[in-house]
Structure 1
């Protein structure tokens, strides 16, 4: 595991951490009139962490096995992973070309400390199609022939970085509950309230450009 490779994976994890679904989920839990909001938020983050780690381990193991089983397997793993990442970017670009209404994010009536972790799994799992940085990071690890034990440790760290903004919110909520909730009102208004997301041609063009770059890497 070279320093440039580790730095690249860290950069991808930091990009992946800017995830409105999990961040908004923690903010909503801390704002909700619950008896134990911090415990609920901690369980939600734990569910998100386990989801990201489990998916990463499954993809890493499957990609490694495919690379070992087929002649030139590493090349095909790279092409498939980067090709899928490019497709996800193009899908995101198409979505930015039309405005869409997004309903308000609310907690279900059955929500509590024991159901927060499963909800974290569902929310994070539903947002994983946007996790193209994760696919690129795993492809880099397979291409570099990272050993299985070290790969597990790196993926555990990646999942921790992915959840870092949520952990920061959680820590602030535990230490400064009332003041943090006042500040989170603005975050919830932006992320969790019902609103119409306008179309953005510049954002779509940026995503298409990024997809073209990833495609070029895949065929190189």
Structure 2
């Protein structure tokens, strides 16, 4: 594997790591979980990390079979991911044309140390179709004819990088306690209460971005 390929995949992993789903989950754990929050958060992160690593390994190992059966199977998979992202951006753009109340997000009532791991798996798995840097990284590994051991090692590293912001947030929350939780609470309140006012510039920007992502998805 070349240094350029490793650097490119590391950059994709860093971009993918700023994932709102996992970061919001860790924020809610710090704000609302009073019994063993550290163990719950670490278990959740392990669930997220395992999902990224295992699904990536499955796609990487099955890529040759998929390509042989479907023809450029991974390219079509990436196109589907981009189409989903374009649809999500288009929907968000349309919604910005009118006022709408903000809705808070909460952890399920059954959340705890014993259920944190499967929740991490479920939330990360549900969000991965929007994580197109992830699929681009796998495609680059395959295009470079990366060996099995090296490919799996890179994917394991990708899963660790994917969770680094969550781990940093968790470390800050546990180290500085109330100060960090107060800041997180103010940010959470800002984005979960009140009314999100319509914004035509934001709506047009989202629609333009959706058109760009769609163009990438349809590119030959």
What are the Cα deviations for residues 80-121 of structure 1, in whole angstroms up to 9, with x where unaligned?
143223312321232222217663211222221111111111
Structure 2 distance, partners of 1:132, 1:205, is: 18
Structure 1 distance, partners of 2:193, 2:93, is: 21
**Pairwise CA distance, 1:40:** 0.9
State the match for 2:125 in structure 1: 125
Classify 1:10/1:90 alpha carbon distance in 2 versus 1 (closer, same or farther; 3 Å). same
State the match for 2:147 in structure 1: 147
SS of the aligned residue for 2:189 comes to helix
State the match for 1:158 in structure 2: 158
Aligned residues: 213
Structure 2 distance, partners of 1:29, 1:171, is: 13
SS of the aligned residue for 2:93 comes to coil
SS of the aligned residue for 2:104 comes to coil
Structure 2 distance, partners of 1:114, 1:143, is: 40
Alignment of 1:1-220 (within 5 A): 1-67=1-67, 69=68, 76-77=72-73, 79-99=75-95, 103-190=103-190, 196=196, 200-213=203-216, 215-216=218-219, 219=220
Structure 1 distance, partners of 2:160, 2:191, is: 22
Classify 1:122/1:191 alpha carbon distance in 2 versus 1 (closer, same or farther; 3 Å). farther
Gaps of 5+ in 2: none
Classify 1:101/1:54 alpha carbon distance in 2 versus 1 (closer, same or farther; 3 Å). farther
Aligned-CA RMSD value: 2.4
SS of the aligned residue for 2:59 comes to helix
Classify 1:65/1:191 alpha carbon distance in 2 versus 1 (closer, same or farther; 3 Å). farther
